[in-house]
């Protein structure tokens, strides 16, 4: 039995792909090990959206190459977007690599490894298939028994001017609704309570079945009917594809959570146009207004980029103003990263790192102030939490104040909630009285449990 060590970089899609990879490798008799030193094969599942993330991967390959010590073992492989971004050049850039494979080739991973061993030649598999690669039968390794990601589409057709994803993950392809529903039904039978429908741009999901076209809202309505699944989430959504039908579908369902990730990227119309985002800040705010009036208490998270080429103080000020208006519940804040082959790479007016960093810090402080105010309002209230397991504190924070009784879960609005209960509540819906809040977490004490209908 071969032992493998897997390291995942980047976004939720990559984490999802890693779960699929673990399933594929396990069903081929491979066993995962914690330490790279004990592995026969080391796999790095990578992201090339930002240069900093890529540099981390290259320096890790450099460190890992010392394990080979003149031998062929351990094999080192690179998966994900960096493989499709660098193509055959990846072997010049990182000579210690034995194989590289794109997001669509992960089902073939055991064959790629075997080919490398049998032929002694470096392997590169970066083609895109027409069908979503996860449509076939496969086994998954899921880190939770309560909540699961379900892939519904892959690729992206939006071509934002700064982004490599359309090139590294290919064009949009939706997965068949039947295949999605049978996976959700299977999860419900196993006792999972929550599913998150995942894809690069889920609200452009589009499947032509024998009975007619299935859009994203129609898919949500079908998932809503699956008995046993009590909560439905989805990510990510593009603001331009957020329709009234989708808003009505969320507001009309008890299971679809009142929470949406809606990346805005900038508050300046000039920058949004340069980014090729296809909406203005007024249109974004108008959609946020519709969401907030149709769905009581909806929480909105976003991605925001500072330091885009030619971004002026005034453009940045408009971003801060938009943040004040929306008051986001979670923020993924980035500094623009120049990526080869994207239109933005050739734009004039690339900003210095110092200016971009300064704007990052200003935007981050504003978000922190806004979210602290917002979360403080939960203190004294009761929120329903789906318990996902024992709470071990945030990694590296030293936060273990709940000791062995600590448990964690998420509210309908996707707040992380840590709480104490007198018994293991994993998989149960618990009413938690909130006693304390921070920018990233609510903390409290469990009171009642919601008993689910049979
Ligand atoms: S929507 Fe834009 S930023 Fe998101 S993956 Fe597609 S091209 Fe990249």
Residue range 268-299, pLDDT digits in tens:
999 999 999 999 999 999 999 999 999 999 99
Domains in the chain, CATH or no CATH each: 3-125 (3.40.50.12160), 142-257 (3.30.750.210), 263-376 (3.30.750.200), 382-450 (2.40.50)
Would you say the CB of residue 81 lies under 6 angstroms from ligand 1?
Answer: no
Q: DSSP letters along 74-91, please?
A: SEEEEEEHHHHHHGGGHH
201 three-class SS:
coil
How is residue 40 written in tokens? 């026969």
Ligand 1 centroid–CA 329 distance in Å is: 21
Residue 185: phi and psi, rounded to 5, are -65, -40
> What's the angle, vertex CA 62, arms to CA 56 and CA 64, rounded to 5?
100
CB 195 within 8 A of CB 229: yes
Task: Specify burial of residue 108 (Cβ count, 10 A radius: 0-12, 13-18, 19+).
Answer: middle
Would you say the CB of residue 165 lies under 6 angstroms from ligand 1?
Answer: yes
Ligand 1 centroid–CA 153 distance in Å is: 14
Give 134-190 pLDDT, tens digit per residue: 565 466 778 899 999 999 998 899 999 999 888 888 889 899 999 999 999 999 999
Task: Specify burial of residue 52 (Cβ count, 10 A radius: 0-12, 13-18, 19+).
Answer: exposed
Give 210-258 pLDDT, tens digit per residue: 888 999 999 999 999 999 999 999 999 999 999 999 999 999 999 999 9
- Ligand 1: residue of 154, 160, 271 to mutate (most ligand atoms within 8 A of CB) is 160
- Give the integer Cα–Cα distance in Å for 78 and 61: 9
> What's the angle, vertex CA 373, arms to CA 372 and CA 376, rounded to 5?
80
Radius of gyration for the alpha carbons in the chain, expressed in angstroms and rounded: 23
Report helix, strand and coil shares of the chain as percent, to nearest 5.
40, 25, 35
How is residue 268 written in tokens? 């300046």
- Give the integer Cα–Cα distance in Å for 129 and 450: 44
240 three-class SS:
helix
Q: Give buried/exposed letters for 113-150 (b at 16+ CB in 10 A, else e).
A: bebbeeeeebbbbbebeeebbbbeeeebbbeeebbbbb
Q: What's this model's pTM, rounded to 2 decimal places? A: 0.89
């Amino acid at each position: 039995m071969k032992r493998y060590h897997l390291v995942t970089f980047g976004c939720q899609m990559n984490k999802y792909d890693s779960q699929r990879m673990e399933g594929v490798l396990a069903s081929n008799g491979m066993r995962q090990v914690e330490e790279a030193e004990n592995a026969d094969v080391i796999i790095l599942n990578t992201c090339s959206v930002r240069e900093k993330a890529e540099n981390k991967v290259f320096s890790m390959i450099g460190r890992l190459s010392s394990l080979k010590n003149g031998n062929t073992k351990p094999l080192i492989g690179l998966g994900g977007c960096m493989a499709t971004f660098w193509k055959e050049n990846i072997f010049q850039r990182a000579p210690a690599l034995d194989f590289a494979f794109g997001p669509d080739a992960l089902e073939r991973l055991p064959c790629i490894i075997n080919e490398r061993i049998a032929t002694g030649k470096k392997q590169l598999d970066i083609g895109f298939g027409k069908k979503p690669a996860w449509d076939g039968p496969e086994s998954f390794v899921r880190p939770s028994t309560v909540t699961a990601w379900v892939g519904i589409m892959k690729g992206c057709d939006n071509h934002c001017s700064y982004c490599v994803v359309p090139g590294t993950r290919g064009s949009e392809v939706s997965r068949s609704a039947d295949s999605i529903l049978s996976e959700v039904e299977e999860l419900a039978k196993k006792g999972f309570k929550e599913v998150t429908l995942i894809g690069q741009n889920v609200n452009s999901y589009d499947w032509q079945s024998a009975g007619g076209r299935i859009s994203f809202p129609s898919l949500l309505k079908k998932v809503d009917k699956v008995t046993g699944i009590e909560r439905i989430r989805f990510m990510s959504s593009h603001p331009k594809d957020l329709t009234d039908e989708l808003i009505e579908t969320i507001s009309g369902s008890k299971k679809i959570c009142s929470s949406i990730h809606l990346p805005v990227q900038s508050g300046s119309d000039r920058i949004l146009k340069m980014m090729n985002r296809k909406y203005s800040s007024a249109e974004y705010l108008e959609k946020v207004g519709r969401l907030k009036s149709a769905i009581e208490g909806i929480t909105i998270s976003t991605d925001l980029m500072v330091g885009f080429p030619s971004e002026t103080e005034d453009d940045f000020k408009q971003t801060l103003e938009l943040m004040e208006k929306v008051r986001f519940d979670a923020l993924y804040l980035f500094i623009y990263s120049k990526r080869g082959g994207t239109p933005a790479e050739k734009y004039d007016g690339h900003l210095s790192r110092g200016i971009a960093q300064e704007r990052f810090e200003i935007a981050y402080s504003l978000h922190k102030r806004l979210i602290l105010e917002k979360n403080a309002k939960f203190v004294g209230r009761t929120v329903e939490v789906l318990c996902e397991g024992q709470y071990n504190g945030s990694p590296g924070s030293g936060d273990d104040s709940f000791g062995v009784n600590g448990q964690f879960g998420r509210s309908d609005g996707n707040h992380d909630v840590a709480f104490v209960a007198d018994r293991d509540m994993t998989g149960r819906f618990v009413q938690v009285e909130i006693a304390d809040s921070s920018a990233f977490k609510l903390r409290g004490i469990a009171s009642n449990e919601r008993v689910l209908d049979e």
